[in-house]
């Protein structure tokens, strides 16, 4: 039942992510490894090298610290970049995984008052490069926009919208992504880490050990995740609170899945199609030359998707009157030809939409941004097996830029393959939900209920069809007040798709929306 959801979201980066040349560089000791990523393990205490048992898999190189500066908003910010890894150990003290990270610390800041934020991408199976050099870090790669292709030069520039002015940043690659690797061939260890619960335990152990190693346990803390990384954020916040003894004040979810039930297409469930309809409408309007900048412009589509759409869908295609209404309205909102919509009885799926909307130009849209297009490799066939223009088109530039940046600017060279998207991870992922669809909404409610100071923000792109914003809106509407009038959980929707931050204006808007949350937790 979940294979389709896994396939869609392995691709995310989620989802689906500016610094001058290093002024100085020095090597840093490896530090203490993490303890076991077990269900109720606190993360363990530092262990000496003499107590470690080495596997046959080589560990990542020692951490390297470099010094940099960047000008943002008329201010010159000096900072350290640390590229390294933390080893996670099992309950038996044996090394299990080597987790790579890149951290940025502003120089001269009081670590007890300076926030620190841990960033993860999605998949499962995606490295943090999307958020790292696409959105939040001090250096940025332009990718994922119309006209940008795999052979586009992977050149970085300073990122004026970096979050570095208000928080230190730690970009984390879960095991199997980026350069992160297993240090054991034990299949049971692999199965444990590549699961919903094991992943959270491992990341919780990483966060605890990082904070302990770099003396940041007293700092205000935040989490940001994209796509499946957004699904991780509430679960990780809850685990850190209750199992690792770490409070988290800011939770930012970028293009998240809060409840897979709301995006999983099914023959008789209308929720996924209702969730995508406003994003279909936004994509169609933008294709016609109108960029949507406010949900007010989609109010009619939202009202229809949340009411009459559901009622007529549930009446079924044998109800002729309901079907006529259904076809007419879906045609109006999607901009597709009525004859095509009628053949589907109004039940337009994501793949059909991105192909039909651009068929007249022999192009296909991306699931991740319906208006970023690529050439249809088989334009005259009834069906076409095409690569996604955003997701697949970004693999080459993001991979090349990430590895080159780590080596040349951060002085961190690694032998071995860099996995931007590791499909083996998503293919073997253990969802562990039995007959239930995975969800993180309950974890979000629990985390906010336990910590009355914590704040959360969910941010989506209008033309993202993989994790549509309306699905999060429907999910968040089910949260209780949690001691306020709803102000503790915000929902922002910006122009663009799954990686809306590839658009300059939306990246600025994201930074502006997040900054106040960090002012509150200092």
pLDDT tens string 197-237: 999 999 999 999 999 999 999 999 999 999 999 999 999 99
**pLDDT value of residue 471:** 97
Name the token pair of 191: 């199965």
Q: Read off the pLDDT of each residue in 449-476 and give the average, rounded to a whole number.
A: 97
**pLDDT value of residue 429:** 95
Query: Which residue did the predictor score with more confidence, 181 or 153?
Result: 181
pLDDT of residue 46 exceeding 70, the answer is no
Query: Which residue did the predictor score with more confidence, 192 or 265?
Result: 192
Query: Which residue did the predictor score with more confidence, 135 or 265?
Result: 135
pLDDT of residue 47 exceeding 60, the answer is no
pTM of the model: 0.89
**pLDDT value of residue 486:** 64
> Among residues of the chain, what percentage have pLDDT more than 70?
88
Q: Read off the pLDDT of each residue in 130-158 and give the average, rounded to a whole number.
A: 91
pLDDT grade, residue 24 (50/70/90)?
very low
pLDDT grade, residue 11 (50/70/90)?
very low
**pLDDT value of residue 20:** 33
pLDDT of residue 391 exceeding 50, the answer is yes
**pLDDT value of residue 27:** 34
Mean pLDDT is lowest, of 89-103, 166-180, 426-440, for 426-440
Instruction: Spell out the domains of the chain, with CATH numbers in brackets.
Output: 3-260+384-521 (3.40.50.1820)
Q: What is the C-alpha to C-alpha distance for residues 108 and 141, in angstroms, rounded to an integer?
A: 28
> Among residues of the chain, what percentage have pLDDT more than 90?
77
> What's the Cα-to-Cα distance from 121 to each of 39, 218, 356, 498, rounded to whole Å?
22, 25, 30, 12
In sequence order, the β-bridge partners of residue 83 are 64, 102
- The candidate with the shortest Cα–Cα distance to 497, out of 378, 397, 354, is 354
pLDDT grade, residue 433 (50/70/90)?
low
- φ/ψ of 318, rounded to 5, equals -80, -15
Q: Which element (helix H / strand E) includes 183?
A: none
Q: Count Cβ atoms within 10 A of the Cβ of residue 101 and give its class: 0-12 exposed, 13-18 middle, 19 or more buried.
A: buried
- The candidate with the shortest Cα–Cα distance to 297, out of 280, 310, 285, is 285
**pLDDT value of residue 382:** 76
Q: Read off the pLDDT of each residue in 455-468 and give the average, rounded to a whole number.
A: 98
Mean pLDDT is lowest, of 8-17, 331-340, 447-456, for 8-17
**pLDDT value of residue 56:** 63
């Amino acid at each position: 039942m979940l294979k389709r959801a896994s396939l869609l979201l392995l691709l995310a980066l989620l989802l689906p992510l500016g610094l001058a040349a290093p002024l100085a560089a020095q090597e840093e000791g490896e530090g203490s490894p993490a303890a076991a990523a077990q269900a109720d393990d606190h993360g363990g205490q530092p262990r000496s090298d003499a107590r470690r048992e080495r596997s046959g898999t080589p560990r990542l190189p020692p951490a390297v610290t470099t010094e940099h500066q960047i000008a943002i908003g008329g201010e010159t910010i000096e900072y350290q970049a640390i590229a390294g890894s933390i080893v996670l150990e099992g309950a038996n003290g044996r090394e299990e995984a080597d987790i790579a990270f890149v951290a940025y610390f502003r120089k001269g800041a009081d670590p007890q008052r300076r926030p620190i934020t841990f960033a993860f991408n999605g998949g499962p199976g995606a490295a943090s490069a999307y958020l790292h050099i696409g959105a939040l870090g001090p250096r940025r790669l332009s990718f994922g926009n119309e006209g940008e292709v795999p052979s586009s030069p992977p050149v970085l520039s300073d990122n004026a919208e970096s979050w570095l002015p208000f928080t230190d940043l730690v970009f984390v690659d879960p095991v199997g992504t980026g350069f992160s690797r297993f240090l054991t061939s034990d299949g049971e260890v692999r199965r444990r880490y590549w699961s919903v619960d094991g992943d959270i335990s491992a990341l919780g152990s990483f966060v605890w050990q990082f904070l302990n190693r770099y003396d940041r346990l007293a700092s205000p803390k935040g989490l940001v995740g994209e796509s499946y990384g957004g699904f991780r954020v509430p679960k990780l916040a809850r685990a850190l609170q209750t199992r690792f003894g770490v409070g988290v004040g800011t939770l930012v979810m970028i293009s998240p899945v809060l409840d897979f039930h709301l995006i999983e297409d099914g023959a008789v469930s209308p929720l996924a199609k209702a969730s995508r309809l406003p994003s279909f409408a936004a994509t169609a309007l933008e294709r016609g030359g109108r960029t949507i900048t406010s949900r007010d412009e989609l109010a009619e589509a939202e009202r229809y998707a949340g009411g009459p759409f559901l009622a007529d869908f549930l009446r079924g295609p044998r109800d002729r009157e309901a079907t006529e209404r259904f076809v007419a309205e879906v045609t109006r909102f999607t901009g597709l030809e009525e004859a095509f919509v009628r053949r589907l009885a109004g039940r337009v799926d994501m793949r059909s939409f991105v192909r039909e909307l651009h068929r007249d130009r022999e192009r296909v849209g991306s699931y991740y941004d319906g208006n970023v297009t690529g050439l249809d490799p088989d334009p005259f066939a009834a069906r076409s097996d095409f690569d996604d223009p955003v997701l697949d088109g970004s693999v080459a530039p993001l991979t090349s830029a990430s590895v080159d940046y780590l080596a040349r600017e951060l002085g961190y060279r690694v032998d071995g393959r860099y996995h931007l998207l590791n499909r083996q991870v998503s293919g073997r992922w253990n969802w562990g939900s039995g007959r239930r669809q995975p969800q993180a909404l309950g974890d979000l409610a629990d985390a906010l209920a336990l910590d009355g100071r914590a704040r959360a923000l969910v941010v989506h792109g209008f033309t993202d069809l993989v994790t549509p914003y309306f699905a999060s809106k429907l999910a968040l509407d089910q949260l209780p007040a949690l001691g306020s009038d709803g102000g503790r959980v915000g929902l922002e929707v910006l122009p663009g798709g799954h990686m809306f931050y590839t658009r300059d204006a939306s990246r600025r808007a994201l930074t502006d929306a997040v900054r106040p949350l960090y002012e509150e937790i200092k």
